[in-house]
Structures are given as C-alpha cells and as structure tokens.
Structure 1
Amino acid sequence: MKKIKVSLRPIVSKINLPTVMKTAIPPGDSMERLFIATQVGEIFYIGNSSVRTFLDIRPLILRLGTSEQGVSGRGYDERGLLGLAFHPQFFYNGLFYLHYSVAGTQGPGALSEHFRPNPCDPGTLNLRWLNRENQYDHIDTVEEWILQTNGQPQKRRTLLNLRRPFFNHNGVNSLNFSPETGKLVLTTGDGGAGYDPFNLSQDNMEIAGKIIEIDVGKDRFIDNPPVVTRFNELPVPIQETLTVIAKGVRNIPGIQFQRVYNQYIKYVGNVGQDLAETIFSFVQYKPIPVTQLVQTSLLASETDLEGFINFGWRGWEGAFPTTLIRGCAENPVLAEKTIAYYDEAIKTSVSRLQPLTSYYHKDPRPDKFGGTALTGVQAYMGNSIPDLTGSVVFTDLARDDKSPARGVLAYTRVRTDGKLNDFSIIETDYNFGSQSAYYVSLGTNLNQNRVFLGVYGSMKVTDFNQGTVFELVQ
C-alpha cells in the first residue's frame, strides 16, 4: 500500500489527556463545534477560535492514578471520563450521554495477585469471579444529560451502573450513536488484568467484553438502576432497552460507521495482548435482545447466534490463537510462543469474525512498525487528503523502536474480496522535539471529512496539561 505523508495542524494545546473528540451543532448555534473530553472529566468545545468549557465533572470522577482507597499508585490509569455522545437530534433536544468511572467507588480488585494463564494448570484456565459485591475495582456509569435552555448542562437520568473487576479495559470513546438504528452504542472492554481471567468476553450473560445497543427513546421509569455485572441482574424494563451486537471484545476504542452507498461499514478495533492489534469490519449483523439472552440462560438452552458478531477473544488475538510469549534464555533474540487457550481457540475458530487487518508488537518487515496498543480507528471520507479518501485511519500509542516515545498513524482499506488486508504508515512532518508524544485518541467530524489526533506527553494521567489536539491536513 502507498505511503502517505500528512501535516499535523495544532488546534488546542496544554490540555489534559483527550479521550473523545467529535463534533456537534449545539442548540441555538449555527456552526458545527469540535468537542473534546479529557480523561480527568472536562469537556471543552472550540468556539470562535477560543477554547470554552462545556462541562466539568471532575468532582464526579474517581481519583485517577491511585489504587484502593485513593492511595497514590501507578499514575497510569484507564479509568475516568471515557465516553461522550451527542443525540442525533442534539440541536433540537439538547441530549448527550456520558460514560465515566464514579468517584468514591474504588475497591480491592477481583484478584489479589497478577494473573497469567498456565496451560499446564487447568485451575488458571477456569477461574470464576466470585464475591463480586466486594471484590471489584470500581463502578462505571452511563448517564443521559441535557443542555438546558439557559446553557447549563444537567444530568437527567442514569442508564447503567456497571461494576468492573479491574482498573483497565474499560473502553475509550465508548459511546457512539448508530446512524442505522438511532440507538446509543456502548462498547465495553473485558474488565482487564490481561488474558481475561474469568472469560467474561465470551459469556453471553456478562456485560463485559460486548458491544451493546441502548434504546434511549424508551423510558424505563427507573432513575437509579442497580449496580450490576451481568445482564440477568438488570430489571426487566432495562433489559428491554438493550440488544447485543457483538462479544469477544478485549478492549476497544469505540465503534465507527462509514456510509458506502446505502449501507454502513462498521469498524471496530480490538486492543491486543502481547502479539497483535486488530481492526475488524462488518456490514450485516443480527443484534440479540438481552431479554432473549436472559431467557435462553434461564432455560439452559442454546441461543441462536447466527449473525451475532464474535471477535474471538480470549481464544483469539486477531488472526492468531492467543499466545503466551517467553524469552529463550539460550538465545535472547528469539522467543517461545505457546497457545494459551487451545480448547477455546478451537471452539471459536469457525464462529469468530475474520479481521480486516492486524499489526504486530514485533514486525520484521522494513516498511512496518512494532506497536504497543491500538488507541483509535476512524473512517475518512474527505477529499482534502485524496490518498486517504474512503480508507480507515488508525493510531497506535507508541512505536516500540522510538525514544522519546512516538505514536504512529496508519491506514488500511476494506478489500472487495473480504480478505485480510495490509496496512501502511502515514508519515507526519510535526517536530515534537525531545518531548514524548503518545498518540492517545482519534476523532472525526459529522461528515468524516476531518480527522483529529489526540497526543499526550506522558503515560501518566497525573501529569497534567500535556495534551495537544491536532487535525490531519494535506
């Protein structure tokens, strides 16, 4: 594929870590505005060449970069303000939606020690998440807000309260509206800790590791739903608002929709474990009502999963069976690779969706790169960068061969024969100097003819005001 070079045009700098970048036309406005949500809980918008605060919920966000009971810890964190979506009729009704980690909900976590599966020890392959009401890391919430006529945002209701087992794999850019169904789409990671210890992503009853549609037009008459981890723990009126699109998710930077003629291609990125980062695409799917999943579970019968999307995790990491990697003591340049979950890889080998493309943490090819973590996927339908028109752009947190840290942009396209495609690097001309530059997020505008890149100067959320948002330009 052709190598492309773009420029990065700074839009705003010295902000906190940007998790969501998208545009909307606010009520009473005549212009499409760029909104930027930060991990610590701020939402800004760009208006008349100035940065203005739309909403600040920092007091509602748990203390980031801390461990149990707020004790200062790692600095790196995957919790916080993770999702922002505007209702398709936002201009008329002022409704928007947030997904964030709730202040004061820190717990000890679901496991007391680091987890790594051992194919020789079945006990590590069949763990269960027990005592969930006490053994968890934090609680995430999904809320509906409204921009009042006086210009002040106000919370209207809570849609979901989710108990999460670990601090990581909560998703990012996790709320997006489907232009096909008009429903709010929530993408949830597998709960974290690496290797999905409890296999939540493949369990049909678990909310973790799924892509879920929420019908926000239905009033459930429940303002404060219970804190849950499984679909069958939800009250029936809430179950009736939910359908599940997909399972087998490890961690996910949102779902994107690209209109091609009279249909939409859906793009989903699945963050990898130790081997590969993967992008999937699909057009047709059959969402399954949560009430049907629960009923099937109660009857202990098989659910008809035809048309149900399965990304394959935890048995598969992209195009490969999930692998344990161990260095060879006698030859440090080589590594031993062992299939972690052989039986699960076999069970899901046929039902899983084949990837659109994968890139790897180690890649010997001279024109590729070794990645760290997929942080954004966006379709580009503009004409100002002609070589990218119709492609899907993605970004990785940091190349493994650069110091100071440098993220990387790349792109791929859907093949007409549906087979796995290659990818190519998008080179940039921006000089970050001696500063680290982690590529933490991607965003786009309503028409997908502009792409925005969020860059941060540190891996620690507690290092403040080191963020810049750029636009990709020819």
Structure 2
Amino acid sequence: MKKVNVRLRPIVNNINLPTVIKTAILPGDSMESLFIATQVGEIFYVRNENIRLFLDIRQRIIELGANGGYDERGLLGLAFHPDFYNNGLFYLHYTLAGSQGPGALPGSFLPNPCNPNTLNLKWNNRETNYDHIDTVEEWILLPNGQTHRRRSLLNLRRPFMNHNGVNSLKFSPETKKLILTTGDGGSGYDPFNLSQDIMEVAGKVIEIDVAMSTFMDIPEVTRFDELPESIYRALSVIAKGVRNIPGISFQRYYNQYIKYVGNVGQDLVESIFSFVYYTPIPVTEIIQASSQNRELNQEALINLGWRGWEGDLPTPVIRGCSSNPSLTQETIAYLNEAISTSTGRIHPLTCYYHIDSRPEKFSGSALTGVQPYMGSEIPDLTGCVIFTDFVLRDSQPPSRGVLAYTKIRPDCKENDYGIIEPDYNFYNQSSYYVSLGTNLNQSRLYLGVYGSSNVTDYNKGTIFEIVE
C-alpha cells in the first residue's frame, strides 16, 4: 500500500498527556466543540480556537508516576450520552485517589512452558492484593454550567498498574448503550488468564445499559458474580480475549456498522480487529450458567484470542541466544490455550510487528488509537481505518510515533497496511503519539502527541488536526 502524505495543524499546545480526543455539541450550542481529556484529570474543550476548562478531577485521581514517571492509570475514558445536548449526561472512567494497593504478585511475571505452575497462577486474596481501583461514573452538566457527579456505575479492583484500557468509553450508535473496554489487568502475559475467563471483568468489552439500573451502593469487584443483581442485569459482554485496548470505534457501512478494536501486543505484534455481527451475552446468563454448573454457550461471543494468541501469532516467550546475542529464541508460551482458542477466535483485520525490515513497513511498540475516516479532505484516506503507534521501536533519539492506515474489509479478512507520513518538523523534541480522535461524523482526524513517555513530565502535549 502506498505512503500517504499529510500535514499536522496544531490546535492546542502545552497541555498534559491527552488520553481522549472527541467532539460533542454542548447544550444550547449550535456547533461541535473539541473535547480533550488528560491523563492527570483535566477535561478541556476548544470552541472558535479558544480553549476552556470543562472539568478538573485531578484531586479524585490516584498519584501517578510514582515509579519513575510512566503510568497507565489516571483519567482513561470520556463519553457523552447520545442525548447529551438535552440531558447533559456524560461518563468518566478513572483511577480513584487513595486506592493504591500492593499489587497481585510480589514481582514480575514470565510464563515458563517447562514449569506448569507458572501457567496456572490464581489471583488470591483479591480484597487486599490489588494495585488500584478504577471507577466508571455518570456526571451531569447543569444548566448553570456547573458539573456534578451523579452516581457510580462500576468500581473495579485491578491487579496491576498497567493494562487498564484507554479511550475506554463509547456509546454504541446501534444500541445507544455505553461500552466499556477493559484491559487484562496488567503485568505481562496475563498471569491469571483473566481475559479468557467469562466471569472476570478484566480483558472484556462490556455493554452497560445506563437507563436500566439505579447503580446504588456499588461494591468494589473483580468478577461479575460479585455484583448485586440490580447492577449485573444491566451488563452484557461483547468480547473477551483482550490484552489492552485503545477503545472501540464504529464505521457506518451502508445499513450496518463495522466495529474496530485494537489489541496492544506483548512482544511481537500489534493487532486491529473488525467485526460487524455479534451477540452479546447478558451477565445474567453468565451468572445463571455458573450457579447451575452448566456450560455457557460462547460460540457467538467475539474472542480476540489473548492470551493464547498475540494477534495473528501464538503468544511466544522470548529468550536471548547465549551463543549469538544478536538472535532470540521464541517459544510458544501457552500452546494448549493457543490450540483451544484457534477456531473460536476472530482473526485480525491487520497486524504490524515489533521487528519488521520490509520496505514501507515499520517496527512498532504499542497501538494507541484506531479510528475510521469518512471525510473527503484527505482523499487517499477516505473510508480507511487510521491507527497510531506510540513510538518507533529502536529509533534513534528524538523518539517518534507512527501513523498508518488500512482499507475497509467488509468480509473482515486480514488486510495490508500503509504508512501515513506527516509533514511536520518536531525538531529535537520527542513526539510520542498517545491518542487519536475524530469528530461526530468522522470527517476530521485529531492526533495527540506528547514530548515524553512519562505522565509526570507536565505540559508537553499538543493536539493536531491531520489535514492534507
């Protein structure tokens, strides 16, 4: 696929690390405003090239970056109700202040196929052995312009610092329900295989009917069966097998929607999946099957394959070759799981790799955004799926992120990808591509760039519009 050249037009400079970029029409307004959520807890909006503060919840968010500056917690999701213009409702996903715990394991984790004990770890003593608590909340913009927290929808104990999802909230244009995307809980290699266990909240794409429940007295949970019925009856599971996910996006295609989700890779490959038809499983059915000790039919559930599969490859463990340090040995980490999920998983729309010497390809590190583009101002990208990678792997300083694209495949079979080359001079400043967003009709593209990989290096963010 050919390289596409674009320009980057700066919109906002000197903000903190942007995790969410999207637009909404404020009540009483007649045009879209661009909303930017930062990882530390600010939400700004831009209208007529003026930036204003919409909400500041920094005091509600856990202390970030305590272990060197890098962190995957904070303000992770923002979504506006489909009727936001009239009811003022919006939704947040963030990490609660004061919820720091010791973590689920005393050290790092690496599976060893020669030691079956490492392949069957259990997350024990969950009420004390967790890293933090994430919350999903409903807020309201009042007629006087003030914002107010109305209620909690979920409080989730997370085992590790990382893999909490990002850009994690989105209302489905099909069902009008709120979708929450959660990562597998972190560490690496999903130590407890939470992503494949249908009862676990971690590693799932979850649909929430915000109109169905009062969501009062929300407990702190890790599993669906720890929730009271008044809460879990409003939940359904759309997909499992998620490692870490930069949100879900929808692309109108004739009379249906193509759904796109990305799965951040472990060691070898980053993956973008697409699907049209799906049958969510109500959590009520999941709990009933468990209480009746019967097998739950999961054939219609979307399964991204993790942890047995990393994209289009069986998940490997990588070790250096002592006889030749320039080479590595890749061993299948979870062979039995790769086999058992080989036919039940969906295949990626496209993949790119951490090591790739092919012409017109790149060696990536972590997928940070996936968005369809339906505009006409960049004709080479019209109807394409755009994605971003955090930073080129093993690139010489200053660090640079990557933009790329792939074509629509209504049959959802695997496709190639091409590079998008921005005409912008970052000079000697690092530029990590941390987020990707669109406007309401997907005719504009927005790129969030940060000058550091650390959330504690403040005011290094820029929001660009991607233009021809």
What amino acid is the match of 2:43? Answer: I
CA distance in 1, matches of 2:413, 2:398: 36
Aligned partners of 2:383 and 2:408 also within 8 Å: no
Which position in structure 1 is the counterpart of 2:59? Answer: 59
Residue in structure 2 matched with residue 218 of structure 1 by the alignment: 212
Aligned mates of 1:228, 1:279 — CA distance in 2: 29
Alignment check: 8 A CA contact 2:274 2:412 kept: no
Quick check: 1:137 aligned with 2:131?
yes
**What is the match of residue 96 of structure 2?**
102
Asked if the contact 1:157/1:224 (under 8 Å) is kept, the reply is no
Contact 2:21 2:37 in 1 (8 A): yes
Tell me the CA shift for residue 183 of structure 1.
0.2
Query: Contact 1:328 / 1:334 at 8 angstroms: preserved in 2?
Result: yes
Letter in 1 for 2:182: T
Instruction: State the SS of the aligned residue for 2:175.
Output: coil
- Aligned mate of 2:448, from 445, 448, 454: 454
Counterpart of 1:373 in structure 2 is 366
| 3-state SS, counterpart of residue 155 of structure 1 | strand
- Report the Cα offset of residue 301 of structure 1: 1.2
Measure the CA separation in 2 of the matches of 1:79 and 1:415. Answer: 34
Contact 2:16 / 2:459 at 8 angstroms: preserved in 1? yes
Q: What does residue 325 of structure 1 align with?
A: 318
Give deviations 1:334-359, integer Å, cap 9, x for gaps: 21110000000000000000110000
Q: Tell me the secondary structure at the aligned position of residue 397 of structure 2.
A: coil
1:300-337 residue CA offsets vs partner (Å, 9 max, x unmatched): 21111122100000000000000111122222332111
Range 120-129 or range 331-340, more displaced: 331-340
- Report the equivalent of 2:42: 42
Residues of 2 paired with 1:219 and 1:298: CA distance?
Answer: 22
Contact 2:104 2:129 in 1 (8 A): yes
Which of 337, 344, 364 aligns to 2:330? It is 337
1:278 is matched with 271
Matches within 5 A, 1:212-361: 212-220=206-214, 222-361=215-354
Equivalent residue runs for 1:99-178 within 5 Å = 99-178=93-172
Q: Determine the C-alpha separation between the residues in 1 that align with 2:159 and 2:83.
A: 35
Structure 1 residue 415 displacement after superposition: 2.9
CA distance in 1, matches of 2:161, 2:411: 40
> 1:23 and 1:98 mapped to 2: Cα distance?
15
CA contact (8 A) 2:3 2:360 kept: no
Relative to 1, partners in 2 of residues 1:97 and 1:417: Cα closer, same or farther, differing over 3 Å? closer
Residue type at the aligned position of 2:437: G
**Aligned-partner Cα distance in 2 for 1:403–1:365:** 22
Secondary structure of 1:406 counterpart:
coil
The alpha carbon displacement at 1:416 in A equals: 4.9
Query: Match of 2:419?
Result: 425
Partners of 2:193 and 2:213 in 1: how far apart?
Answer: 32
Alignment TM-score, normalising by the size of structure 1:
0.98
- CA–CA distance in structure 1, aligned partners of residues 322 and 446 of structure 2: 44
Q: Which runs of 5+ in 2 are unaligned?
A: none
Compute the displacement of 1:417 (Å). Answer: 4.8
Q: Check the 8 A contact 2:16/2:39 in 1, yes or no.
A: yes
SS of the counterpart of 2:230?
helix
Counterpart Cα distance in 2 of 1:392 and 1:367:
18
Residue type at the aligned position of 1:363? D
> Does the 8 A contact of 1:286 with 1:306 survive in 2?
no
Which of 75, 83, 89 matches 2:69? Answer: 75
Residue 29 of structure 2 corresponds to 29
The one-letter amino acid paired with 2:333 is A
Distance 2:49 2:326 in 1: 51
Q: Deviations over 1:277-321 (max 9, x none)?
A: 000000000000000001111122111112210000000000000
Contact 1:378–1:444 (Cα < 8 Å) also in 2: yes
Q: Quick one: distance in 1 between partners of 2:411 and 2:287?
A: 37
Q: What are the Cα deviations for residues 354-410 of structure 1, in whole angstroms up to 9, with x where unaligned?
A: 110000000020211100100000000000000100110000000012421000000
Q: TM-score by structure 2 length?
A: 0.99
Q: Distance in 2 between matches of 1:396 and 1:92?
A: 36
Q: Partner letter of residue 438 of structure 2?
A: T
The DSSP-based 3-state class of the residue aligned with 1:346 is helix
Cα deviation 1:407-462 (Å, max 9, x = unaligned): 00000013355421110100011110111100000001000000100000001111
Does the 8 Å contact 1:62/1:103 carry over to 2?
Answer: yes
Shift of residue 144, structure 1, vs aligned partner: 0.2
| Residue 390 (1) aligns with residue 380 (2) | no
Structure 1 segments (4+ residues) deviating >6 Å: none
Structure 1 residue 239, shift from structure 2 partner: 0.8
Helix, strand or coil: the match of 1:344?
A: helix
Aligned partner letter, 2:228:
P
Specify whether residues 417 and 91 from structure 1 end up closer, same or farther in structure 2 by C-alpha distance, changes over 3 A only: closer
Aligned length: 467
Which AA in structure 2 matches 1:452? Answer: Y
Is the contact between residue 323 and residue 339 of structure 1 (CA under 8 Å) also seen in structure 2? yes
AA matched with 1:57: I
Which letter maps to 1:47? R
- Equivalent-residue separation in structure 2 for 1:459 and 1:383 (angstroms): 33
2:195 partner SS? helix
Identity over the aligned pairs, expressed in percent?
Answer: 69
Q: Which amino acid aligns with 2:286?
A: L
Amino acid corresponding to residue 241 of structure 1 in structure 2 = A
Match of 2:15 in 1: 15
Q: Distance in 1 between matches of 2:245 and 2:429?
A: 27
**What is the CA-CA distance between 1:74 and the residue it aligns to?**
2.1
For structure 1, which runs of at least 5 residues remain unmatched after alignment? 67-72
